[in-house]
Structure 1
Amino acid sequence: MNGEPIRKIVIVGGGTSGWMAAAAISRILGDFPGMSVQLVESEAIGTGGVGEATIPQILSFNTLLGLDENEFVRETHATYKLGIEFVDWLRPGHSYVHPFGRYGIDMMGVEFHHFWLRGRALGKREEIDEYSIAAMAGKAGKFFWPQLGNPNSPLSKLSYAFQFDASRYARYLRTIAEKQGVVRHEGKVVEVVQDGESGFVTSVQMEDGSQIEGELFLDCSGFRSLLLGQALGVPFRDWSKWLPCDRAVAVPCTLAGEHQPLTRSTARPAGWQWRIPLQHRIGNGHVYSSAHMSEQEATDLLLANLDGKPFADPNPLRFTAGHRERAWEKNVVALGLAGGFLEPLESTAIHLVQSAIARLIAYFPTFAFGEQEIARFNRDTAREYTDIRDFLVLHYKATEREDSEFWRYCRHLEPPEGLAEKLAMFRSSGRVIREHEELFTETSWLSVMAGQGIEPQGYHPVAGLLDEAETLKRLDHIHSVIAQAVSQMPTQDDFLAQQGSAIPATERVQA
């Protein structure tokens, strides 16, 4: 073996990222002889998460931990999520859904949307949403588990994620991690101690004077990036020219309005507002550009557009879009906000933590701290951030809005090279490119490009092999099957009650 195995892991910071790492690492590596996982956090330091929504990859993380889904939903006061509804992004009054799952049925070896494009050319006006069971069920407030074992069912095209209370999720994972042997230390870190020759971190000194020694350190200290940014000085790569929003204000409100299994993003004059319905409350926030709107204006606009009554003070947040140039430096690996931040427009924050944990376990080091493994970890991490960045920029770039200085800037910005190529290809022929197994699928790219008004000049030639009547007949059949399936699904509230994962009515925050 190239070096002795690492046995002492110290996680600096709790919250979602810290406890996700603690739970996963202790689950996978906890039985290794002499393994020690310690987590340091302070109740006096709040967590910085601005989102409570996830994407379908969270299911694999929950499976890794062996979680019971009904218990998980109940303990975190979660709701289900079938996609994200984007309101007013193309133009005021317009909306569409980025669904989880697939559209229609692929035919004759090519993707369904090429037949939908041909149908549009023949005069059919149905939006692509109407051929997605996730989008239509979400709008109708319906939910049922995917039927992956029945490929003839429209439910086989369905995927889902969750919307949950992030603080409850962290507490839930803490319980699991501590049962698996993780030791928690309460207190503030006042100094990061490094080896004088190698620069490796050897311990963190606590406010009470004690020191916690380790061999591998995970920086989960949030925007402070206490180890990677401050102690090791890894530079930050600033992407604000493409993603100009640099502020957010968040506030919870009482339950009111629709209770759909969808996260909602509504465009505002200098950014956008999120709405995340949980079982006990609604999470709300306004992400905006401080160059185009003041904090007071942003807060007032948020409070004026809540479905329920706010029951906490608005929480302001500052950030810069981008990431540390290296997520792994020496014996420190940054997770979550300590390594980078991309606004929660597509609910990717928790996934970035999850994928970094999986990558760390795959390249888990010995004392040799191999350069090849660290370089690959950093390269894969940077590429993932870049892929997500391009997808987020698409939302701002593909718009008809010219009604504010912010939207004029976004509409006319020069897109990153990878995004420019994807846009050119889709405009040319309706083809959707997915690079190197990137996070977002062809369905995701299609949903935003079509939803935000990009009109292809053509479609795959195979879609023209069916005669016009047969094309229209098949589209009508798929449309009606999806509508019928949605009509037979239970509401999300009924589904939660049936599964025993609904919370008691007394725990709901009512007006």
Structure 2
Amino acid sequence: MNGAPIRNIVIVGGGTAGWMAAAAISKIMGKMPGLSISLVESEAIGTVGVGEATIPQINQFNSLLGIDENEFVRETHATYKLGIEFVDWTHIGDRYVHPFGHYGIDMLGIEFHHFWLRGLELGDSHPLDDYSIGAMAGKAGKFFWPQPDQPNSPLARLGYAFQFDASRYARFLRTRAEMQGVTRIEGRITEVEQDGESGFVTGVKLESGELVTGELFIDCSGFRALLLGQTLGVEFRDWSKWLPCDRAVAMPCTHGGSREPLTRSTARAAGWQWRIPLQHRIGNGHVYSSAHMSEDEATQILIDNLDGEPFAAPNHLRFAAGHRAKGWDRNVVALGLAGGFLEPLESTAIHLVQSGIARLMALFPTTTFSAKEIERFNRETEQDYIDIRDFLVLHYKATTRDDSELWNYCRNLEPTDGLKEKLEMFRSSGRVIRDHNELFTETSWLSVMACQGITAGGYHPAADLMSDEELLHRLGHIRQVIATAVSQMPTQEDFLRSNGSAIDPALRVTS
């Protein structure tokens, strides 16, 4: 082995990122002889705690930890999520669902959407939503688990994630992590100690005078980036040019209106509003550009568009889109907000924590901290941020809105290189490309491009091998099969009750 094993890991900061790291690392590495894992956090320092929506990869993380899904849903007051509904993004009055899973079925060896594009030319104007069981079930308020053992059922291709209370999720993971041997240390950090020659972090000193030493430090200190940014001085790469929203105001409200298993994003004059229905309340927030709207105006817009009564004061957040130039420097690895921030338009915040943990576990160091592993970690982490950034920029770029300064700015944005290539390919031939197994699939890129008005310049020639009559018949049959399946699915609330994952109705916030 090239170096002695790591014996002492210190996680700085709790919250979702910190306790995800603690739970996963102790589960995977906890049986290493002599390994100690500590997490330092202070009750006096709040966490952001508003990221409540996830994408399907969260199932892999929970499975790794051996978490029972029904217990998890119940303890975090979670609901299921089949996709994200976008309202008023292309133009006011427009709406569509970016679903998890797939559209239709592939035929003749090519992707389904080429047949849908040909159907449009033949006069079949049914939207993409009609070919997605996730979109249709989501809008109908229905849910059922995927049925991979029934390949002829639309349920075989259903994907799902969760909407949950982030603070409850952190507490849920803390319990598991402590049972797996993680030691929680309460205290505010007042000083970070470093090796005089290498600059490696050697310990963090608390207000009490206690010094917590370690060999590997994981920075989960949020926007402060206490270790990676403030101590090691790793620069922040600002992407505000492409993603100009730099503020958010969050506020929960009582239940009201619909409870579909969908996160909703509604475009506003200077940004967008999220709506995340949980079992006990609805999470809401307004992400906006401070260059185009005041804090007071943004807050009032949020309050005016709540489904229920607010029951907490507005929580104001400031941020810049971008990431640290290195996610791993010397013996410090940053996770979550300490490593970067991209607005939660596609619910990727928790996934970036999850992928960072997985990458760290794959490249877990010895005390020599090999430069090759660190370089690979940083290269792959940066690519994750770039891929997600490009997908988020697409939402802003693909619009015809001209009713405000922000939308005029976004509509005229010069796209990033990666986004430009994808747009050119779709506009040229209707092809959707996906690079290096990036996070968002062809379904995702197709959903936003096609549903936000990017016109395909054609379709795969193989789609012409099917007669007009046969193609239209198959499209109609797919829609009917999906509609029938959705009609037979239980409502989400019935599903939660039947599986023992519904919370006590008395826990719902009603005032």
Q: Would you call these one fold, judging by a TM-score over 0.5? A: yes
The Cα of 1:157 is off from its aligned counterpart by 1.2
1:55-74 matches, cutoff 5 A: 55-74=55-74
Paired with 1:156 and 1:7, the residues of 2 have a C-alpha distance of 44
Residues in 1 aligned to 2:457 and 2:103: alpha-carbon distance in whole angstroms: 20
Contact 1:77 1:165 in 2 (8 A): yes
- CA shift, 1:48, in A, is 1.7
**CA-CA distance at 1:146 after TM superposition:** 0.4
C-alpha distance in 2, partners of 1:441/1:318?
Answer: 30
Contact 2:141–2:491 (CA under 8 A) maintained in structure 1: yes
After TM superposition, list the pairs within 5 Å mapping 1:495-510 onto structure 2. Answer: 495-510=495-510
Task: State how far apart, in whole Å, the 2-side matches of 1:79 and 1:48 are.
Answer: 20
Distance 1:505 1:439 in 2: 37
Kindly state the Cα deviation for residue 150 of structure 1 after the two structures are TM-superposed: 1.2
Does the residue aligned with 2:357 lie in a helix, a strand or coil?
helix
User: What secondary structure sits across from 1:184 in the alignment?
Assistant: strand
- 2:407 corresponds in structure 1 to 407
1:428 Cα deviation (Å)? 1.0
Deviations 1:40-59 (A, max 9, x none): 00111110243200000000
Structure 2 equivalent of residue 36 of structure 1: 36
Decide whether the 8 Å contact of 1:194 with 1:201 is kept in 2.
yes
Work out the CA distance in 2 between the residues paired with 1:133 and 1:457.
Answer: 27
Can you list the C-alpha shifts for 1:457-494, whole angstroms capped at 9, x where unaligned?
A: 21000011101000000000001000000000000000
Partner amino acid, structure 1, of 2:295 = E
Aligned to 2:140: 140
1:275 matched residue in structure 2: 275
Question: What is the DSSP-based 3-state SS (H/G/I as helix, E as strand, rest coil) of the residue aligned with 1:253?
Answer: coil
8 Å Cα contact 2:396/2:410 also seen in 1: yes
**CA–CA separation in structure 2 for the residues paired with 1:130 and 1:453:** 17
Corresponding residue of 2:373: 373
Partner Cα distance (1:482, 1:288) in 2: 37
Matched, 1:488 2:499: no
CA contact (8 A) 1:48 1:223 kept: no
SS in 2 for 1:252: coil
Letter in 1 for 2:389: R
After TM superposition, give the deviation of residue 67 of structure 1 in Å. 0.2
> Which AA in structure 2 matches 1:486?
V
Q: Which residue of 1 aligns with 2:231?
A: 231
In 1, Cα distance between the equivalents of 2:164 and 2:7?
33
Q: Deviations over 1:157-186 (max 9, x none)?
A: 100000000000000000000000000011
Distance (Å, rounded) in 1 between the aligned partners of 2:23 and 2:444:
30
Equivalent residue number for residue 454 of structure 1: 454
The TM-score, its normalising length taken from structure 2, stands at 1.00
Gap runs ≥5 in structure 2: none
Matched, 1:265 2:265: yes
Contact 1:56 1:160 in 2 (8 A): yes
CA distance in 2, matches of 1:108, 1:413: 38
Match of 1:82? 82
Q: Using the alignment, how far apart are the partners of 2:50 and 2:468 within structure 1?
A: 49
Does residue 92 of structure 1 match 2:86?
Answer: no
Match of 1:424 in 2: 424
What CA deviation, in whole Å up to 9, does each residue of 1:388-431 have, x standing for no partner?
00000000000010100000000001010000000010111110
Corresponding residue number in structure 1 for 2:104: 104
The answer to whether the 8 Å contact 2:49/2:167 transfers is no
| Aligned equivalents of 1:190, 1:451: Cα separation in 2 | 50
CA-CA distance at 1:455 after TM superposition: 1.2
Q: CA deviation at 1:510?
A: 1.3
Instruction: Confirm or deny: 8 A CA contact 2:250 2:314 kept in the other structure.
Output: yes
Name the counterpart of 2:162. 162
1:471 is matched with: 471
One-letter identity of the residue aligned with 1:441: T
Query: What residue ranges of structure 1 are gaps of 5+ in the alignment?
Result: none
| Equivalent residues of 1:248, 1:286 under 8 A apart | yes
> Does the residue aligned with 1:17 lie in a helix, a strand or coil?
helix
Corresponding residue for residue 124 of structure 2: 124
Q: Following the alignment from structure 2 to structure 1, what is the Cα–Cα distance between the partners of residues 88 and 464? A: 33
Deviation at 1:451, TM superposition (A): 1.1
- Does the 8 Å contact 1:50/1:344 carry over to 2? no
Q: Residue 291 of structure 1: SS of its match in structure 2? A: coil
Determine if the alignment matches structure 1 residue 13 to structure 2 residue 19.
no
Q: CA separation in 1, counterparts of 2:7 and 2:230?
A: 25
Letter in 1 for 2:213: E
8 Å CA contact 1:12–1:217 kept in 2: the answer is yes
Runs of 4+ in 1 over 2 A off after TM superposition: none
Amino acid aligned to 1:399: T
Shift of 1:265: 0.1
Kept in 2, the 8 Å contact 1:26–1:177? The answer is: yes
Matched with 2:311 is 311
> Identity of aligned pairs, percent?
74
Partner secondary structure for residue 310 of structure 1: coil
Partner of 1:444: 444
Matched position secondary structure for 2:390: helix
Q: What amino acid does structure 1 have at the position aligned with 2:128?
A: I
Counterpart residue number, 1:202: 202
Distance, in Å, in 1 between the alignment partners of 2:111 and 2:49 is 37
Contact 1:429/1:457, CA 8 A, preserved across alignment: yes
